[in-house]
Structure 1
Amino acid sequence: MSTSFARVGCVCVLASLAAVYPRHALAQTSAGHEHSTHGDRAQQVMPHTDAAIDSLLSIARRASETFSDRSAALAAGYRRVGMDFPSMGEHWVNPALVLEERFDVARPAILTYTVVQGRPTLLGVVYAIPLAPGEKPPAAFGPEATWHEHNGSVEEESLLPEHHSMSMPSSGSGIRLAILHAWVRAPNPDGVFAAENWALPFLRVGLDVPVGFPKSAARAISLLSGGDRYYRELAGESANAAVGAALERCADVASRVVRRAQARGQALGPADLEELDGAWSAAVVEVRNAAGADVAKRINGGILPGEMR
């Protein structure tokens, strides 16, 4: 990759982030040391069936242990960008590692965290590689690794409604960042390299991840750990009130379902998931009637024209 691309492309990509990092990160990180190894459910990651890939993932997992405490990530140059998203968590970006313009499995440019039962917990790593026009992403993890691209900035990683885990085009013009998630410290039913992880809403509130759960149930559960803020922002200021009211009713149902499951000492069952699915579906219909089809589609994970860049 050319030096001119590095100077023009990567510097432009990261300059706007660097200006806000110190203040933003310090505001979001509590003083002292954190201990995130408590979250047993968030550590239950099955070995990969391919030995070569599992070996690489083990390297990434061991390297990430250094950053179980977010203060260690902060000291190493990582800074939080964006909010804690329902299906991705927080993104902590290290601009210097992006600027290195090379793939190193032990040196991810981004770390992901979320709060599990009140404590910050490391979820995994994200690789971000600047690409020149026509350049392809690294093939280290094989065809299963579904890279996606952002045309503009690492910050875009935390702003898109959903990624849909699409394969990255091999051509294009202008600044391109190839992005690959690796959930090396949290289970993901959709696979270790999936762009999103809808197990997170269950983990945050201390629930076992149900088998075969619908995303609608996960979205409903996410309202119990701050997900409503995300959906309100997706909807926009003009639709905030309508969306807020619908989400509040859905959250009431989710809270009742969780309390009931906890009282019987069991994981969420099919009837619970069906009730959560119904509550979320009702909320989407309510939003559609009050704020329009586009807003309803947006909060339900749909991508409107022009949103996926």
Structure 2
Amino acid sequence: MTNRYVTAVTALTCALTTAAAPAHASSGPAHDGTLSAAQRKVLIDATTRFKDVDEAIAAGYLPTDHCVPGMGWHYVNPTLAADTVIDPVRPEVLLYTPGRNGTVRLVGIEYFKADADGRLTTDTDRPTLFGHRFDGPMNGHEVPPGTPPMPVHYDLHVWLYLTNPAGQLATENDRIICP
């Protein structure tokens, strides 16, 4: 079972370098798009240190080499993405956007969980964060040839450090433009 999740994380890391908008099995948003002030504070307290990208790398987050329009660069923590636990203070993915002078700027976080049965037609294992349902289940994104396929999965984006006109929990943020 662990190898399946490690494979999923490897595929996730590669897929996020070429990801398009995910195809969702369900119609409409899976959440209402708003966190309470207390929930937001918990997440900010847990992730503020990752504004320093070197702190993120030291904590095990691995950068992708492609900026995804509407999302930015994904720094994936393979250990966190491989487990089945959704811990609000330990997001699986950190989202960065191009900053000044070749730097990156932390703009949000993403939670990820592989679907237990790998089927788009069931969602009994849909995770939640503070009562907000994750998006999905969704197909894995296209991955480069020779890369393990990305599994059916759930994810939830949280825009903590850059306002998203579409909502705090929307998948994409139109304010993020890649070079």
TM-score (structure 2 length as normaliser): 0.70
Structure 2 CA distance for aligned equivalents of residues 178 and 140 of structure 1: 12
* Alignment check: 8 A CA contact 1:132 1:175 kept: no
Q: 1:251-275: CA deviations, max 9, x gaps?
A: xxxxxxxxxxxxxxxxxxxxxxxxx
Return the offset for 1:182.
0.2
Identical amino acids, percent of aligned pairs: 29
1:126 aligns with 2:126: no
Point out 4+ residue stretches in structure 1 off by more than 4 angstroms.
15-19
Aligned to 1:180, the other structure's residue is in SS state strand
User: CA RMSD of the aligned region, Å?
Assistant: 3.0
Structure number with the bigger relative contact order (C-alpha 8 A, sep ≥ 6) is 2
Report the AA paired with residue 49 of structure 2: T
Report the AA paired with residue 157 of structure 2: H
Structure 1 CA distance for aligned equivalents of residues 85 and 142 of structure 2: 19
1:84 matched residue in structure 2: 67
Q: Structure 1 residues 177, 49: CA separation in 2 closer, same or farther (over 3 Å shift)?
A: closer
Q: 1:228-269: CA deviations, max 9, x gaps?
A: xxxxxxxxxxxxxxxxxxxxxxxxxxxxxxxxxxxxxxxxxx
Q: 2:128 aligns with which of 139, 142, 151?
A: 139
2:83 matched residue in structure 1: 100
Q: Structure 1 residues 17, 197: CA separation in 2 closer, same or farther (over 3 Å shift)?
A: closer
Aligned to 2:129, the other structure's residue is in SS state coil
* Alignment check: 8 A CA contact 2:126 2:134 kept: no
**Which runs of 5 or more structure 2 residues have no equivalent in the other structure?**
15-32, 145-149
TM-score (structure 1 length as normaliser): 0.43
Query: 1:43-62 alignment to 2 at 5 Å?
Result: 53-62=36-45
Return the offset for 1:13.
1.5
* Alignment check: 8 A CA contact 2:136 2:155 kept: yes
* Alignment check: 8 A CA contact 1:150 1:157 kept: no
Report the AA paired with residue 142 of structure 1: G
Structure 1 CA distance for aligned equivalents of residues 44 and 67 of structure 2: 21
Q: Structure 1 residues 17, 191: CA separation in 2 closer, same or farther (over 3 Å shift)?
A: closer
**Which runs of 5 or more structure 1 residues have no equivalent in the other structure?**
1-5, 20-47, 160-173, 202-224, 227-309
Structure number with larger C-alpha Rg: 1
Structure 1 CA distance for aligned equivalents of residues 73 and 115 of structure 2: 24
Structure 2 CA distance for aligned equivalents of residues 150 and 178 of structure 1: 6
Aligned to 1:83, the other structure's residue is in SS state coil
* Alignment check: 8 A CA contact 1:83 1:158 kept: no
Q: How many residues align?
A: 150
* Alignment check: 8 A CA contact 1:9 1:175 kept: no
Query: 1:281-300 alignment to 2 at 5 Å?
Result: none
Higher strand share: 2
Structure 2 CA distance for aligned equivalents of residues 79 and 127 of structure 1: 15
* Alignment check: 8 A CA contact 1:88 1:196 kept: yes
Q: Structure 1 residues 88, 15: CA separation in 2 closer, same or farther (over 3 Å shift)?
A: closer
Higher helix share: 1
